[in-house]
């Protein structure tokens, strides 16, 4: 910054490290909150450490400031943004300087009079550099050039293919720092199998990040509910059930699952896992659709009761049990040929 930040009241330089005031044991006591105004840091207030929940990585003993999960990708993305700005500026420059004029070499016979002598004290017309002046703000211009002069447009391969390849490689590296595969950025980069594997890898590698984010949001939600619920009750906007307190309010933050790649295959695989008792219906419903299984179950019960009362039969079938299920992209329907020991149904004669 142009000027250093003015030290706030109660600032002890021996106890403050990177904006964090430490106690005698080196633990965070309070944090200095600042804001940027006109290119200068201004002090706002001190915040107690128990009121701060940092969403970041803590990897060493005594660390009081977390490292942002976005830190590994910040520098590559910043460099790419600058490179894109410069590439765009170069393209604009080529549009502004869109043509060039090539002058013919001076003719040694120019400037010689009829008698074969050059006038003294007088410059010949060819020696006077008149130049060319065009004003494109007035619309299309006519290039009235001298004899032998030439005009051509300036063109360039900007951005160059090498630059595009380098930018793509930098994008891959930056996305890998966020556990994202490049095919999630460019769907034409891979096929179904690659996209499926990339989604599975992202789901595994980002699980820690998602759990930490859910924990951080849960902590913030608890504190906000402790402030908002009493205000809503006092204003009459909320009526709590008898005997229920703020501590009795339950909630859960759920992450949004990656988009479907092959819906039929994924649902079949999840149904097989549930049937093999490798997972529960509740977890499967949350993982596939992000819904609460209890709510879905109650809706199914109500739907079944209403259909039975109205005389509507349940036409649903188990997943994969109907022969009308269309094959996937990778499966081909093989015609059945009855052999000597098989009847028309394909069974033994």
Question: E strand or H helix at 43, and its extent?
Answer: strand 40-48
Closest C-alpha to 67, from 177, 143, 197, 185: 177
**pTM score, whole prediction:** 0.48
**Residue 320 gets which letter from DSSP?**
T
C-alpha count within 13 angstroms, C-beta hemisphere, residue 195? 15
The total of other beta-carbon atoms located within 10 Å of residue 140's CB is: 5
Residue percentage of the chain with pLDDT more than 70: 74
Alpha-carbon distance of 175 to 224, in angstroms, equals 33
Q: Which of 3-7, 60-64, 323-327 has the highest average model confidence (pLDDT)?
A: 60-64
> Is the pLDDT assigned to residue 333 strictly greater than 50?
no
> Is the pLDDT assigned to residue 160 strictly greater than 70?
yes
> Is the pLDDT assigned to residue 133 strictly greater than 50?
yes
Give the C-alpha distances (Å, rounded to integers) separating 295 from 100, 302, 337.
Answer: 72, 11, 48
Tens of pLDDT, residue by residue over 218-274, are: 888 988 898 888 888 888 888 888 888 888 888 888 776 666 667 788 888 889 999
What does the pLDDT read at residue 349? 38
Which pLDDT band, with edges at 50, 70 and 90, does 276 fall under? very high
**Residue 249 gets which letter from DSSP?**
-
């Amino acid at each position: 910054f142009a000027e250093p930040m003015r030290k706030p009241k109660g600032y002890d330089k021996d106890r403050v490290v990177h904006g964090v005031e430490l106690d005698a044991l080196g633990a965070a006591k309070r944090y200095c909150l600042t804001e940027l105004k006109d290119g200068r840091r201004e002090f706002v207030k001190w915040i107690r450490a128990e009121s701060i929940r940092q969403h970041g990585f803590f990897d060493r003993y005594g660390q009081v400031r977390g490292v942002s999960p976005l830190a590994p990708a910040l520098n590559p993305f910043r460099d790419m943004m600058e490179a894109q700005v410069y590439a765009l500026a170069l393209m604009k420059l080529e549009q502004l300087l869109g043509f060039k004029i090539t002058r013919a070499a001076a003719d040694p016979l120019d400037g010689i009079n009829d008698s074969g002598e050059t006038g003294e004290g007088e410059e010949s017309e060819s020696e006077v550099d008149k130049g060319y002046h065009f004003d494109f703000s007035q619309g299309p211009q006519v290039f009235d050039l001298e004899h032998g002069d030439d005009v051509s447009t300036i063109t360039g391969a900007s951005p160059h293919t090498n630059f595009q390849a380098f930018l793509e490689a930098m994008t891959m590296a930056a996305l890998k720092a966020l556990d994202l595969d490049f095919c999630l950025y460019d769907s034409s980069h891979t096929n179904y199998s690659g996209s499926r594997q990339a989604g599975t890898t992202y789901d595994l590698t980002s699980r820690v990040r998602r759990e930490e984010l859910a924990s951080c949001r849960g902590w913030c939600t608890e504190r906000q509910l402790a402030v908002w619920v009493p205000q809503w009750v006092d204003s009459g906007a909320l009526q709590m059930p008898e005997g229920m307190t703020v501590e009795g309010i339950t909630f859960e933050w759920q992450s949004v699952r990656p988009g479907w790649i092959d819906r039929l295959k994924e649902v079949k695989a999840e149904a097989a896992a549930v049937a093999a008792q490798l997972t529960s219906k509740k977890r499967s419903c949350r993982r596939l659709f992000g819904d609460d299984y209890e709510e879905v179950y109650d809706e199914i019960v109500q739907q079944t009761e209403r259909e039975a009362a109205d005389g509507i039969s349940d036409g649903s079938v188990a997943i994969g049990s109907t022969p009308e299920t269309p094959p996937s992209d990778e499966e081909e329907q093989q015609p059945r040929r009855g052999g000597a020991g098989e009847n028309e149904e394909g069974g033994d004669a």
